[in-house]
């Protein structure tokens, strides 16, 4: 298979890579760049565990070919984690008991961040809709919604960017 040349920015860092044309963005992140915080749960864009932010929008990285990301910017869970400490959303998930097994958590946090970047004061219904593409089997979503709401309401201390 002929390799493709790809220029991509991941978590603020520019990469130039030679990739297979059939490589999924999810595999590029996990296998080539070792960013394993992005998870795979279904491979067909239903569970949302592989959610990343692509040019400001939350997307399922299992449904996007790496080759489609030429010149584009990706943010993964590793990219929202400050050098020391946690982002307000991460802290709020911790404070509100929003994490049980944690497998959906990175994707859930990125969907929440994409929502808050576009709509800093969402209603509960808007929060539920924004994370409706992220399945969670442990929490019944209640504490996740509360955690996102707490950041939106400014109850969770702002430590730098969302």
Partner 1 sequence: MNQNPEIIGTSPKRVDVREKVTGAARYGSDLKMEGMLYAKVKHAEYPHAKILSVKTGRAKKLKGVAAVATAADVPGNPAFGAIIIDNQPIAGDKVRYLGDAVAVVAAETEAIAEKAVSLIKVKYKELPGLFDPRDALKPDAPLIHEDGNLIVHHKTRRGDIEAGFAAADRVIERSYSVQRVDHAYIEPEVVVAYFEPDGTLVVKGSHQSIFNIRSAVSGVMGLPLSKVRIVQASLGGSFGGKDDVMSVLSCRAGILAQQTGRPVMLSNSREDSLIESYKRHPYFMDYKVGVKNDGTITAMEIKMVADGGAYASMTQFVTWRSVVHATGPYRVPHVKTDVYGVYTNNTYTGAFRGFGSPQITFAYESLMDEIAEELGMEPLEFRRINILHDNDITATGQILDHTVSVGQALDVTTSASGWEEKRARFPKENSGRIMKRGIGLACSYRGVALGAEGVDATGATVRIHSDGSVDVATGLVEMGQGLKTIFSQIVAAELGIPIDKIQYRPTDTSLIVDGGPTVASRSTIMGGSAVKKAAIGVRERLFQAVSEKLDVAPEDLIAADEKIMLKNDPSRSVAFLEAIALALETGLNLSCFGWHLSPPIWWDEEAGKGDAYFTYVYACQIAEVEVDPETGKVNVVEVWAAHDVGKAINPDTVRGQIYGGVATAIGYGLLEDVEMVDGVTKTMNMDEYLIPTAMDVGKINAIILENYDKYGPYGAKSIAEPTAELCAPAIANAVYHATGKRIRDLPLNLERIVLGHKLIKKKRRVR
Nearer to partner 1, 70 or 101 (CB): 101
CA angle, residues 23, 29, 33, in degrees to nearest 5: 110
The residues that touch partner 1, with contacts defined as CB under 8 A, are 35-44, 46-47, 49, 76-78, 81, 86, 90-91, 93-95, 97, 99-106, 109, 127-129, 131-145
Output 20 or 73, the one with its CB closest to partner 1. Answer: 20
| Total Cβ atoms within 10 A of residue 138 | 15
The residue (of 69 and 99) whose beta carbon lies closer to partner 1 is 99
Work out how close the CB of 157 gets to partner 1 at its nearest, in angstroms, rounded to a whole number. Answer: 15
Q: How far is the CB of 65 from partner 1 (least distance, A)?
A: 16
3-state DSSP: the chain helix, strand, coil percent, rounded to 5? 35, 15, 50
User: Closer CB to partner 1, residue 68 or residue 94?
Assistant: 94
Structure tokens at 162: 């969302």
User: Using CA atoms, how far apart are residues 155 and 82, in angstroms rounded to an integer?
Assistant: 19
Rounded to the nearest whole angstrom, what is the least distance from the CB of residue 114 to partner 1 in the complex?
Answer: 15
* Helices vs. strands in the chain: H and E counts, helices first: 6, 5
């Amino acid at each position: 298979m002929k390799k493709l040349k790809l220029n991509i920015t991941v978590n603020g860092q520019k990469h130039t890579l030679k990739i297979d044309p059939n490589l999924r963005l999810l595999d590029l992140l996990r296998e080539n760049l070792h960013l394993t915080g992005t998870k795979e749960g279904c491979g067909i864009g239903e569970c949302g565990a592989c959610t990343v932010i692509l040019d400001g929008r939350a997307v399922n990285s299992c449904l996007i070919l790496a080759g489609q990301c030429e010149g584009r910017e990706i943010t993964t869970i590793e990219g929202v984690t400050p050098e020391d400490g946690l982002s307000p959303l991460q802290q709020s998930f911790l404070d509100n008991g929003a994490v049980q097994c944690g497998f959906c958590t990175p994707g859930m946090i990125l969907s929440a961040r994409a929502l808050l970047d576009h709509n800093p004061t969402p209603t509960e219904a808007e929060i539920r809709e924004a994370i409706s593409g992220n399945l969670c089997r442990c929490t019944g979503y209640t504490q996740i919604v509360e955690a996102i709401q707490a950041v939106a309401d400014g109850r969770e201390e702002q430590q730098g960017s969302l």
